[in-house]
Structure 1
Amino acid sequence: MCDKEKEAMSILSSSSSKLHLLLFPFMSKGHIIPFLQLAHLLLRRGMHVTLLTTPANHPFIAQSLSGADVSILDLDFPENIPGIPPGIESTDKLPSMSLFIPFVNGTKLMQPFFEEAIQTIIPKVDCIISDMFFGWTLESASKFGIPRLSFYCMSFYTMALVEDVMENGLLSLHESGDEPFTVTSFPWIRARRNEFDHPFNKLDPTGPDLDFILECKTATDNSYGMLVNSFCELEEPFVEYWNRKSQSKTWCIGPLCLAEPSKIDAGTSQKPKWRRWLDEKLTKGSPVLYVAFGSQISIPAKQLQEIAVGLEESRVSFLWVVRNAEEEPIHGFEDRVKKQGIIVREWVDQKEILEHEIVQGFLSHCGWNSVLEAICAAVPILAWPMMAEQRFNAKMLVEEIKIGLRVVCTDDGTSNGFVTNENLKSSVIKLMEGEKGKALKKVAKGVAEAAKRAAAEGGSSWHALSRLISEIQSQKEIKCSYLA
C-alpha cells in the first residue's frame, strides 16, 4: 500500500476499531469468485472481513483465500429442499439447471443460521454485503439495524437493456422472437426477444423465474445500496442510465479481478503442467487460443465433437479446459493434437492463463467474470454465449467495446444454437490470424489500460469504494454516539 493510500485509510478508519464487513456469496463459482476478489480488495483498504459459506464450499474458498486475513464461517446448508439431491451445495453440482429456482429458494431456509451468525460474530458486523440472489437477507439486516449492500456480478449493459425493454413493452412488439426492435433509451442498439434468456424471451414473461427476479430487485431497491463488479469507463451510458432509474445507491467498484494477487511469476517447481505447456509455446512463438465455457455449461457430445474437429483443423495452438472428465471430445483426439493443443480437466486459475503472454485469444461463453478477466489481460474474445445474460455480454463485447467476435453458428435464438466445425474453424482463424483479430487486440490493450486506471489509486472505482467506506464509517460513528 502506497503512502497516499495509507493516509486515506487512516482518515477513513479514524474510530477506535476498523470496519467489519460480512460477505455472503451465492453458492456458485461465478458468484463466489468475485466475492473472493472483493475480500482481497477490502483487506487492502483496511477492512476486517468475514465470509459466510457452507461446508461443501469451504475448501474452495479457503484455498482461494490462503494467506489472506479473512475469517470464514460455515452455515449449515438445508437438507430438505424438494428436488435437490442430498449433499448438493452449489449450482455447478446440480443434475440440471432446471433445479435452479428450487435451489435458490431453498437457501431461504438458511435464514435462522444467518441471523445466529450475525449475533455471535465478533467484532460486531458493521455492514452486510449479500449476493443479489439472497434478497431474504434484507429482512435479517433490518432486524439487527445493519446496512445491507446487494452485490451484482453482472454488467450495467445487461441490467439497463432488460430494464428498458420491460419498461417500454418491447418484448411484445413482435410475434416472432427473431424480429429485431430498437431499444428505446439506446436507439443505436437493435435487439431481438430471442437474445434474452428465460423468462424474458417470452411475449408475456410470467412464472417463478420472474417472481424470483422481481423479489431480488425489490430487496435491492430497499437496501442501503448495490455494488457492481464493473467500471464506469467500460459502459458509461449504461451506468448513467442505471443511476437515473435505480431506487438505490450504486457503487461501481470493479474490475475486482485486479484486486487478486497475480500468480504469473510463480516458481518453476510450482508450475502445473498446463503452465509449463504455455511456457513452451511462448518459447516457440506460437500464439495460444484459450478455450473454456465456465463451470455451469454442459456441452452435448455432438457439439463437443464439432469443437474438437474445428480446433484441430484450424491448426491454431489451444488450451482447452473441459468441465469434467465426462466431457470427452472424440476418440484419439488428444494423441493427434498433442503438439498443437492440450486438454485440462482440473480446476485452473483462469486469470493466470489469460495473463500469460502467449495467450492471444479466448473462446468463451462470456460469463461476466470471464469477460472482465479477458478485458484486464487485453485478450480478445471469440464469443459463444450459451445461457443467462451471456448473449448480452457478447453483444456488448462485439458492438459496444469492440474487442470480440461472435462465433458463426446456426443460432436459432435459443441457447441451443449449433456450431459446425467449419464455422468454428473459420472463426478461430479470423480471431487468431486475421487482420480483424489484430485490430481487436489493439483496442483490447486500450480497454485493459482503462480498467487498470479505474481500479488503481485515484481511479473511478477506487474513489467509489472510498466514498462507500466513508459512509459506512460515518454511520457506525453516529450509531456509537447514539448508544453512548
Structure 2
Amino acid sequence: MEKQQQRVYKAHCLVFTYPSQGHINPLLQFSKLLDRKGVKVTLVTTRYIYKTMYRGSSCTALDTISLETISDGYDEEGWKTLGISVQAYLDSFRKAGSQTLAELLQKLSCSGCPVDCLVYDAFMPWPLDIAKKFGIPGAVFFTQSCAVDNIYNHVNKGLLKLPLTDSEISLPGMPPLEPSDLPSFLSDYGSYPAFFELVIGQFCNVDKADWVLCNTFYELEEQVVDWMAKFWPVKTIGPTIPSKYLDNRLEDDKDYGVNLFKSDSDACMKWLNQHPKNSVAYISFGSAARLGQEQMEELALGLKMSKGKFLWVVRESEAAKVPENFIEETTEKGLVVSWCSQLEVLAHEAVGCFITHCGWNSTLESLSLGVPLVGIPQWTDQSTNAKYIRDVWKIGIKAQPDEEGIVRRAEVEHCISEIMEGHRGKELRKNAMKWKDLAQKAVDEGGSSDKNIDEFIETLIKR
C-alpha cells in the first residue's frame, strides 16, 4: 500500500471484467501493462468471483493494482450453483451491477484519485452508459479475435442474415468462410439464445466508446483490423499474456495472478521434466467448454492408442466422464490433472502439440509460444479460430468429426501422429515459431501493440 501512495500516476483507469476466467485473464494482464506505464488501475469484479479467487504469489505487479467489487445479484452463491438461467443472470447482473458500479464510481470520485477512464469488457456494454453519466470516457475491450468481432458486427447490422442460407460467406477483410467456420451461435442458430443476444449486444453502443481495444496484434489480423478501423478507433493491444513469455519487462510476471481453479502445476512440471523434447501431447479444453460423454470417451481412447505421452487437463466438473480405469491403465504414458498453469506447460520443451478447443486465450498462448495445435472446437467463437489456425496462420490442423459430430479415437490418434511424427508437424512448428517471433515484436518497446497502448495512455492524459 505504501508503494501506491508514493507513486505519482498519470491517470486512473477502472478496469471491469466479465466474471469468468477467460475474460479476467486478458483484462488483468492489460491492467499490469497500464500499471507499468504509470497508470493507476482499479480492477473490478463481482463479489462472488472475488471470494472464489486463488491469488498467485509470483506476480509483484499485482501489489500495485487495487481490487474492488460490485454485485451481480448473487453475492453469496454463484448463479450456476443455484441453477439460474443465463438470461436471468445477465438481467440480474445488469440491474445490480449498474447500481453498484455507479456507487463505486461515486465513492472513487471522492477518494482524491477519481477515475479518468472506464475500460470494460465488451460482453457487458452497459458500463459505458454509467461512465457517460459521470462524464468519464470509456474504452471497450474485446477479448475475442477481430475476425469473430467482425462477424458478429455484420449480424448486428443486418448485413449477415440469419439463419444462414449460403454455402459460402464473404466478409470484408476475411477469407471465404463456410457456415461451419462461423461461431456456433450463428451456424447453429437458435441453440443458445441468451448467449446469442450477449455477443451481438456487444455492439449496441460501441459507436459511443472513446476507444476500441482488441486482444490481438496487428500483424496477426491485419486485413480485418484495417477494415474495422474504418468505423471505430481500434487499437490492437495483445497478446495480453504474462511478460515472462513475451518481453520480460514485468518482474516475476509468470502467470496471470488470479485463478478460479486450483492448480496442479508442480506435479505437471515434475512429470514433464522426465520427458524429451516435443514428446508430449498437451490436452485442455479451457475453463468453460464441456465435452459430451461419448466425445470424452473417444478422446480418452484416442490418447490411449497414440504412441506418445500425454498430459490431459480434466476439470473436476468433467472428471466423471473419463472412462473407468483409464487413469490407472495409462499411468506409464500419461498424466491427468484437474488444472495447471497452461503457459508454463506450453513453454516446456517436452510439449510437442496442444489439443485444444481453440478458445481465443488458448490460441494466443499457443501461438505466442510456438506450439502447433490440434483443434477440436466445441462452441461459441472456437470454429472461427480453428479456421484461422488451419488455413490462415497455418499453425495447426482441425480434427474431423463424423456425421454425428464426434471426433473418433482413430482421428485423435491420427492428428497426434501427424504433428508429433510426420513431415506436416515440422512445417506447422516452423510456422508457429514465425508467429511467436511476430507476437514478441508486437509487444516489444515500439512494437505495434506497445505503441498502441502508449497512444491510448497519451490520449487519455490529454482529455
- For the aligned pair, the TM-score class normalised by the smaller chain equals 0.7 to 0.9
1:180-236 Cα deviation digits (max 9, x unpaired): 21414357413226743224644x999655544443212222111211100000010
Shift of 1:468: 0.6
8 Å CA contact 1:111–1:137 kept in 2: the answer is yes
Matched, 1:276 2:270: yes
* Higher mean displacement: 124-133 or 104-113: 104-113
8 Å CA contact 1:230–1:255 kept in 2: the answer is yes
Measured in 2, the distance between the counterparts of 1:426 and 1:320 equals: 17
SS class of match (2:400):
coil
2:125 corresponds to: 135
CA gap of 1:430–1:214, structure 2 versus 1, over 3 A, is closer
Measured in 1, the distance between the counterparts of 2:158 and 2:221 equals: 21
Shift of 1:44: 1.5
* Higher mean displacement: 19-28 or 118-127: 118-127
Measured in 2, the distance between the counterparts of 1:428 and 1:114 equals: 47
Which residues in structure 2 correspond to 1:22-61 (within 5 Å)?
Answer: 22-59=14-51, 61=53
Which residues in structure 2 correspond to 1:223-372 (within 5 Å)?
Answer: 223-244=209-230, 246=231, 248-259=232-243, 261-263=252-254, 272-282=266-276, 285=277, 287-324=279-316, 326-328=318-320, 329-345=322-338, 347-372=339-364
Shift of 1:37: 1.0
8 Å CA contact 2:184–2:379 kept in 1: the answer is yes
Which of 144, 159, 172 pairs up with 1:154?
Answer: 144
CA gap of 1:214–1:366, structure 2 versus 1, over 3 A, is closer
Matched, 1:192 2:192: no
* Higher mean displacement: 250-259 or 389-398: 250-259
1:76 corresponds to: 71
Shift of 1:58: 1.7
Matched, 1:444 2:437: no
Letter in 2 for 1:446: K
Shift of 1:280: 0.9
Which of 103, 112, 117 pairs up with 2:104?
Answer: 117
1:393-429 Cα deviation digits (max 9, x unpaired): 11011111000100121166xxxx2111111111111
2:379 corresponds to: 387
* CA-based RMSD: 2.8
2:412 corresponds to: 424
CA gap of 1:371–1:207, structure 2 versus 1, over 3 A, is closer
CA gap of 1:315–1:232, structure 2 versus 1, over 3 A, is same
Shift of 1:120: 1.2
Letter in 2 for 1:280: Q
Letter in 2 for 1:450: L
Letter in 2 for 1:113: T
Measured in 2, the distance between the counterparts of 1:94 and 1:397 equals: 37
CA gap of 1:468–1:173, structure 2 versus 1, over 3 A, is same
Unaligned runs of 5+ in 1: 1-14, 81-85, 265-269, 476-484
Shift of 1:138: 1.4
Shift of 1:163: 3.8
Shift of 1:349: 1.2
Shift of 1:358: 1.1
* Higher mean displacement: 125-134 or 181-190: 181-190
1:83 corresponds to: none
2:451 corresponds to: 463
1:373 corresponds to: 365
Matched, 1:145 2:135: yes
SS class of match (1:309):
helix
Letter in 2 for 1:158: V
8 Å CA contact 1:155–1:368 kept in 2: the answer is yes
Shift of 1:165: 6.6
- Return the index of the structure with the highest Cα Rg: 1
Measured in 1, the distance between the counterparts of 2:455 and 2:188 equals: 38
TM-score by length of 2: 0.86
8 Å CA contact 1:318–1:340 kept in 2: the answer is yes
Matched, 1:126 2:116: yes
Shift of 1:41: 1.2
Measured in 2, the distance between the counterparts of 1:74 and 1:143 equals: 20
SS class of match (2:416):
helix
Unaligned runs of 5+ in 2: 1-6, 245-251, 256-263
CA gap of 1:271–1:190, structure 2 versus 1, over 3 A, is closer
* Higher mean displacement: 39-48 or 355-364: 39-48
How many residues matched?
A: 434
Shift of 1:104: 2.3
Measured in 2, the distance between the counterparts of 1:205 and 1:357 equals: 40
8 Å CA contact 1:164–1:185 kept in 2: the answer is no
8 Å CA contact 1:23–1:51 kept in 2: the answer is yes
SS class of match (1:256):
coil
Measured in 1, the distance between the counterparts of 2:444 and 2:97 equals: 37
CA gap of 1:16–1:381, structure 2 versus 1, over 3 A, is closer
